[in-house]
Amino acid sequence: MRPPNVVLICLDTVRADHLGVHGYVRATTPTLDALAARALVFDSTSSCAGWTKPSVASFLTGTHPCQHGVYGGNARVGSTEMTDALPARALTLAEVFEQHGYRTGAFVHNAHLRVGNGFDQGFGDYEQGQMDARALRWRGLDWLDQGSKSEQPFFLYLHFLDAHWPYPAPEQWLTRFASAEVIARFRGHESKALYAAINDGTYVMSTDDRAALEALYDGALAYLDSELGRFLAGLELRGLEESTIVCVIADHGEEFGEHGRVGHGHGLFENLLHVPWILHVPGRAPARNSVPVSLIDLFPTLLSAARLPRPDGLDGIDRLAEGNVRRALLAEHKSSDRYTQTLRVENEKLQRSFRAPPGLERVEIVLPIALGSRWEAEFEVVGDELVATQLKPRDEAPEEPLELKGPIADVSASEFRLAGIRVRYNGDSKLQVDTGTSGPTLANGLVVKVRGPILDGALYAERIKFYAPDEEPLLELRARVEKLEYSQGSGSLTLGAFTLRITPDTHLKDMELPSENRPLAREQLAALLAGGGASFAAANGFESERRLYDLSRDPGELAAQELPPGSVLEASLDELGAALIGRRIFGTADQHDLGDEARAELEALGYGGDQR
């Protein structure tokens, strides 16, 4: 019996919660929704990384980033800009299909996957270039026609980039959910400066900004979905529908300001890791699987669907044979000086980061925050602490009353809580309600800004300002600087009556500060994991930070609990890291000079800077 054909489709930058099959309200993906209705859908699929290069390397090899070593897109080493390459010793999915007599081809739009970076291993035909969804699906169908007389089954990989900035979709699609005027500021290469300003904290997104960006993204996704429909129709027209497995995934998701940044490649939040996985196997009944799974599982699952044997050395699970097996899910991110991991066990998610020890030269940074001046802090509640995520000066009189903004809870007739702080109000409290805002009735979950003095440990509300129902639930505090303690990247800042912790991750808006020389090489990372993670870090001068998220109560990951070293989850993470790095396949030779041509291609996609 001839083995089935296999088509693997990767939708770059597509987060699962913007698909109809996962409950999205807009009609962005009718094609994928129809495919899902007759397929196996994995509802809780997690990528191994928050951007393309390490993620694709992982699902094409069935190994984690700490094994294949593909972390960096472009990082400066001395005077040379280097990029990581998939090692030649890696066994790719295409190589396995090729070994079993398959004709293999790939048509790819993402410069990180260009020939020379190792992703072409096992493909008889491999083309990477500037192709929108229409051009790419035609290249795929043309390739099928070229081999139509062959007796070989085929494995075809298509990688679409249309839901990625700068959104090169036709106008009628980009304006499907918002007018051209509304989305104009986020379109094309002219918007690059705006994205940069958002991500460095010099521009704060409004609710309208986020709505415009999501409308633009959704229009690009709808265009991509329409071209997928034409590709699937092309399979049916060629009589291939009943003999071809179709698997659709995404490499990572996208952020729209939920954590103060847009885009991807900077973290491991769920909106960057939760991706779709739709697997249609002819003759197999449709089903939904809610067990948390990893894209590491794709490799053995696709081979199982094609009735091919599983090679040794894979860490993934065959989800056709063992669909209900539960295990911890690992994701990783490496920047120039920091390594971050997440370990998810059901709805409990540990995020841990290590910062490299300082180099020989260390710069003592002096923050330009004057006592008595007025500042604003965006912050998170981590355990019993307020942790500042961003600080910026305010051109306001220092004696102005304290202001606290965020979602409220535990509302009663005379008080409520905001960020765990008790707020008291009465008939003298002025309620500020504008057109389109909530109020004037207080209710749990509403976002308000309270202005007033601190008396007896409570904030007395002189004024309560209401915001729109869809206002971002960010926590903000504005008050006079009473105290500052800061050294070597960490410290504390007292605004009014409240003390916030400053960490190396706290962004200082409108200020350029000298950075420390703290590069983290892949070999250091390997030593860190092999040495037990936490214990090696403590003994070798690494800084570390641990945060715990409860995804059942906090799906947006806005309220982390800080963990001390030595938790059960951390021990599991150390054990897993040591086991995986013991089977690493990368070495110092698996890097090369990025080159001017590749650099130009990446810059056209908005990439550049640290490790992207």
pLDDT digits (tens, 9 = 90+) for 26-61: 999 999 999 999 999 999 999 999 999 999 999 999
| Residue 360, pLDDT score | 35
In-domain check, residue 594: yes
Structure confidence at residue 319 as a pLDDT band (50, 70, 90): very high
Indicate whether 342 belongs to any domain. Answer: no
Confidence category of residue 510, pLDDT binned at 50, 70, 90: low
Let me know whether 442 and 534 are in one domain.
no
Question: Could you report the per-residue pLDDT of 448-470, keeping only the tens digit for each?
Answer: 999 999 998 899 999 999 998 88
Q: Residue 81 and residue 588: Cα distance in Å, rounded? A: 15
The pLDDT of residue 597 is 77
285 occurs within a structural domain = yes
Residue ending a domain, among 473, 508, 543, is 508
Q: Are residues 293 and 215 both part of a single domain?
A: yes
**Residues 521, 497 share a domain:** no
Chosen domain end from 508, 529, 552: 508
**Looking at the domain assignment, is residue 128 inside a domain?**
yes
One domain, residues 474 and 542? no
Per-residue pLDDT band for 365 (boundaries 50, 70, 90) equals low
pLDDT, tens digit, 9 for 90 and up, residues 67-126: 999 998 765 444 457 789 999 999 999 999 999 999 999 999 999 999 999 999 999 999
**Same domain, residue pair 576 and 591:** no
pLDDT band for position 394 (cuts 50, 70, 90): confident
Same domain, 492 and 414: yes
Residue 38 backbone dihedrals phi, psi, to 5 degrees: -120, 25
pLDDT score of 379: 94
Helices marked H in 42-177: 52-61, 65-68, 93-99, 133-146, 171-174
The pLDDT-based confidence of 268 (bands split at 50, 70, 90) is very high
- 432 by Cβ neighbours in 10 Å (0-12 / 13-18 / 19+) ranks as middle
Range(s) of the domain holding residue 554: 351-359+517-581
> How far is residue 213's CA from residue 309's CA, in Å, rounded to a whole number?
44
**197 CB-side CA count, 13 A:** 11
Residues 543-570, mean pLDDT to the nearest whole number? 91
- Tell me: pLDDT of 595 over 90: no
Query: Which pLDDT score, from 0 to 100, does residue 599 have?
Result: 73
Q: Same structural domain for residues 430 and 531? A: no
Q: Which of 109-118, 250-259, 518-527 has the lowest mean pLDDT?
A: 518-527
For the full predicted model, state whether its pTM sits above 0.85.
Answer: no
Altogether, the residues listed in the chain come to a count of 612
Q: What CATH number corresponds to the domain at position 57? A: 3.40.720.10
Unique residue bearing structure tokens 């960096």 = 72
Is residue 252 domain-shared with residue 280, that is, in the same domain? yes
Reference 156, options 165, 146, 169; nearest CA is 146
Is 184 domain-assigned? Answer: no
